[in-house]
Structure 1
Amino acid sequence: MAPLPEFSSSVKLKYVKLGYQYLVNNFVTLLFIPVMAAVYLELVRMGPEEIVGLWRSLHIDMIQILCSFFVIVFAAAVYLTSRPQPVYLVDYACFKPPITCRVPFATFLEHTRLISSDEKSVRFQMRILERSGLGEETCLPPAIHYIPPRPTMEASRAEAQLVIFSAIDDLVRKTGLKPKDIDILVVNCSLFSPTPSLSAMIINKYKLRSNVRSFNLSGMGCSAGLISIDLARDLLQVHRSSNALVISTEIITPNFYGGNQRSMLLPNCLFRMGAAAILLSNRRRDARRAKYRLVHVVRTHKGADDRAYRCVYQEEDAEGLPGISLSKDLMAIAGEALKSNITTIGPLVLPMSEQLLFFLTLVGRKLINPKWKPYIPDFKLAFEHFCIHAGGRAVIDELQKNLELSA
């Protein structure tokens, strides 16, 4: 018996899948068209006299019409008052460090050799830096340029003021925002939590109103930026006609590690200066000038798992030097969190065709063959662009591979 020809060569599966997606995603429309056509043909066949007789036979009086009208108006009022407030991202601004803070690879290597007496630690940091995906234009705060570094409270505050105030000033220039117009303030910085707080520092600098709702988040890691957006969105659902200012940053000065434990040297290579200021609004008049509309925010917390809880951990090394330890399990845990997160957001954004394929594959693995390859939905059908957390080149490469994204 001659071997069967390869199916993929005789049938273009790409176009088969496109046809399937069109059929499933437009099923209601395709079903509605023939029904309406049949109704139209029946009305044409009946003629004017039969249509008038049918209308009179319904015995619709004015009371029924008024009752129906009030029911419709009441239902519309309930819908309009209970639906979620639209939240718009009006604009944002990112801190642009001065050129004097630049740390090219050669400068980083020179300073590391002068600070550390362990050549193995120096070579390890250079290998990490070369593979990190960072460029030659990244910056570190002035206190880290000293030899040895000076991670004092004063220097840490100076860095916070530099990055945060610069980002806010840029946002104010872009949007024309006035301090009295800020109703909600959310600031997140994971590793620097002084007293008074960073949110209080902003209120003092810009003389915000006494009734501003301010929040200062700390210790929540790289995800704190999106957590702040989620918190601001929830507040905007409650407080109508409001503006929310969200500040996301990480202060590097107090967290430089001067020891030789490799898991704690990684942040020295990966973390750099930066801050972002974001203006969110639920005012409908801001819809036209807004860059984006916030539609869904999905959060997944793996803190109940001990491995996840300790994958990024602030502690002292054997010599008593404080630092941030990054576990080897970090990538695996991030992958598990991403899987849970995508499973949650999938039904909210994916077209029905992809949801149906995912469901059928899941049922097939449970009932027919557990070895079937799990179906990974095509998220490119739901999103035009992906903005991925730049926590290292390995993270970005893995997401690009799993989601089948273009370079």
Structure 2
Amino acid sequence: MPDFSNSVNLKYVKLGYQYLVNHFLTLSLVPIILGVMVQLFRFGPDEISRLWTALRFDFVHVLCSCFVIIFAATLYFMSKPRPVFLVDYACYKPPVSCRVPFATFMEHSRLNLSKEPKSVDFQMRILERSGLGEETCLPPAIHFIPPTPTMESARGEAELVIFSIMDSLFDKTGIKPKDIDILIVNCSLFSPTPSLSAMVVNKYKMRSNIKTFNLSGMGCSAGVISINVAHDLLQFHPNSNALVVSTEIITPNYYQGKERSMLLPNCLFRMGGAAILLSNRRSDRWRAKYRLLHVVRTHKD
């Protein structure tokens, strides 16, 4: 059995197979339509006229023909992928009291890492090259000297970020919490029990039959994975709204050691979050900001 893994890029085979499955009915009808058109072109006007005259339509033939046409049209529209629209989104804007300019961050680092001057210098070099601005923010627990990365503080940050962006999204769209059919919350580093998705459902008194998913431990691709999960679910649940909440909780992950790889999150991660409302309802087409066409996630072995 030959090994095609080295000669054929399997991801293109997968994409081709997926396209074939999604458009099977359309691709099947194309050769039939072409065959009928070629045959009609071969006939002359007189032959087409005689063929039309020779037809004898009765009620049974008309009924069967209508049934076949309606069945084929229904099958075609049901097999088409449902369009997914991004109705609106909201991003978290931290309060001014949480801002951490470079000078403040480095002063706190010198006090918290007074026994590790090399770690302080390393953080300064990373911060200068990070591309962060002077108005980025850290959660309140990190402002203390020393920081207080407790579970209670982490919960407080999660509630502050998630509830703020959800309130903003509900205000912008006019949608009610009970209108949400699918809820997906992703946070890579903080995965408490009860989950963040359960916290949201309890806060907003969402429906008991809502489908909830809490994704964690997936790194920087968690946001893309959440969108992909929402897209797949909306293909099987018609007339549904999906709410995707993406954030990263910083409080429990502040590092005060000398491992440089673990010092990087101190310099790069800041408070933030986004809530996105997706819908497959045709009525939302006109007010949606975007339409979701492709979800691409890449990785290297």
Task: Compute the TM-score of the two structures, normalised by the length of structure 1.
Answer: 0.60
Structure 2 partner of 1:71: 68
Q: In the TM superposition, what is the alpha-carbon distance from 1:187 to its structure 2 partner?
A: 0.4
Cα distance in structure 2, aligned partners of 1:81 and 1:261: 55
- Partners in 1 of 2:48 and 2:281 — Cα distance? 48
Deviation at 1:74, TM superposition (A): 2.1
Identify unmatched segments of 5+ residues in structure 2. Answer: 1-37
Measured in 2, the distance between the counterparts of 1:107 and 1:84 equals 51
The structure 1 residue matched to 2:49, chosen from 34, 38, 55, is 55
Query: Is 1:255 aligned with 2:259?
Result: no
For residues 270-281 of structure 1, the aligned pairs below 5 Å read: 270-281=268-279
**Secondary structure, aligned partner of 2:221:** helix
Question: CA separation in 1, counterparts of 2:51 and 2:216?
Answer: 70
Q: Which residue of 2 aligns with 1:82?
A: 79
CA 1:53–1:201 in structure 2 vs 1: closer, same or farther (change >3 Å)? closer
Q: Percent identity?
A: 71
> Counterparts in 2 of 1:8-27, with a 5 A limit?
none
Question: For residue 177 of structure 1, what is the aligned residue in structure 2?
Answer: 175
Shift in Å at residue 52 of structure 1? 4.9
Q: Which residue of 2 aligns with 1:246?
A: 244
Task: Please give the secondary structure, in 2, of the residue aligned with 1:138.
Answer: coil
| Cα distance in structure 2, aligned partners of 1:299 and 1:113 | 39
Tell me, in whole angstroms, the C-alpha distance in 2 between the residues paired with 1:159 and 1:168: 14
Q: Is the contact made by 2:247 and 2:272 (CA closer than 8 Å) also made in structure 1?
A: yes
2:142·2:149 contact (CA, 8 Å) conserved in 1?
Answer: yes
**What is the Cα deviation at residue 201 of structure 1?**
0.8
Q: CA deviation at 1:120?
A: 1.5
Match of 2:108 in 1: 111
How many residues are matched? 258
- Rounded to whole Å, the distance in 2 between the matches of 1:73 and 1:210 is 37
After superposition, where does 1:247-396 map in structure 2 within 5 Å? 247-300=245-298, 336=300
Contact 2:221 2:297 in 1 (8 A): no
Amino acid at match of 2:136: T
* Structure 2 letter corresponding to 1:56: R
- Provide the TM-score with structure 2 as the length reference: 0.80
CA positional deviation for 1:54: 4.1
Q: Which structure ranks higher in relative contact order (CA pairs < 8 Å, sequence separation ≥ 6)?
A: 2
Q: What does residue 24 of structure 2 align with?
A: none
How far 1:60 moved relative to its partner? Answer: 3.8
Which secondary structure state, in structure 1, belongs to the residue aligned with residue 294 of structure 2?
coil
**Post-superposition CA distance 1:122-178 (Å, at most 9, x none):** 111111111111111110001001111110111100000000000000001100010
RMSD in angstroms over aligned alpha carbons? 2.2
2:213 corresponds to which residue? 215
* Secondary structure, counterpart of 1:62 in structure 2: coil
Q: Following the alignment from structure 1 to structure 2, what is the Cα–Cα distance between the partners of residues 186 and 251?
A: 16
Query: Map of 1:159-174 to 2, 5 A cutoff?
Result: 159-174=157-172
